[in-house]
Amino acid sequence: MNQWQETVRKYAVPIGLLLALLTGAIFWFGFVEKKEAPGKEAPFLLTSQVSQETRETTTESAYFVDIKGAVVTPGVYQVPPGSRVQDIVGLAGGLREDAATAYVNLAAKVEDQQLIYVMTEVEATQSDTPLPATAPATGNAPGQSEAKVNINTADASLLQTLSGIGIKKAEAIITYREEHGPFASVDDLQEVSGIGEKTVEKLRASITI
């Protein structure tokens, strides 16, 4: 019995210290876990997600509009939804002095990926497009009448506003005019290399001579 008591007294202090260390460690780790709980970081994560979604929404809602013709600086411009032709013309530096302003509807709303072509006075006099009170300047705006393109006088930029006519076909049309003279009829466009009957039929409502 004395030997057992002696043993207990011998190891009592080390065992007590060990238990104290274990208790302190358990308490410390429990405190750290509560401090670093996921709920504490949630507001930061949510804020980041909202910021990213806001940026994506802003990018997706922007309109990109291509304006060509009689403006100071033709090009593609980014505008917010609800913008009008006047806004695009302003971004392009305004209308040139030779712009056919009677054909430009500055109040018309623009659409995403829209092409706006502003005719010159010379192009306007050679076009058979009437001058209604709301004559548009756009080449493909939904719900608006389109100005017909004169294939005998249009330059490469104006020809490219036609569906299916790229830079190569536009240059081919101009080359044909230079070599053979003006087109006698819309059907003569089939004589141009790379342009067939189907293309002419598709363009018939958009072109004139």
Tokens of 79: 């505008």
Residue 106, class by beta-carbon neighbours within 10 Å (0-12 exposed, 13-18 middle, 19+ buried)? middle
Q: Residue for token digits 């039929």?
A: 201
Question: Which pLDDT does position 45 carry in this prediction?
Answer: 46
pLDDT of residue 34: 57
* CA–CA dist 182, 184 (Å, integer): 6
Q: How far apart are CA 164 and CA 132, in angstroms?
A: 28
- The pLDDT value given to residue 55: 55
Asked whether the beta carbons of 134 and 162 are under 8 A apart, the reply is no
Q: Which residues of the chain have pLDDT under 50?
A: 39-48, 50, 132-145
pLDDT of the residue at 33: 59
Using CA atoms, how far apart are residues 20 and 95, in angstroms rounded to an integer? Answer: 86
Q: Which of 203, 175, 171 is closest to 187 using CA atoms?
A: 203
Predicted confidence at residue 133, as pLDDT, reads: 42
Q: Residue 144 has what pLDDT?
A: 41
Residue 30 is predicted with a pLDDT of 67
**Does residue 67 contact residue 118 with C-beta atoms inside 8 Å?**
yes
Residue 118 and residue 138: Cα distance in Å, rounded? 8
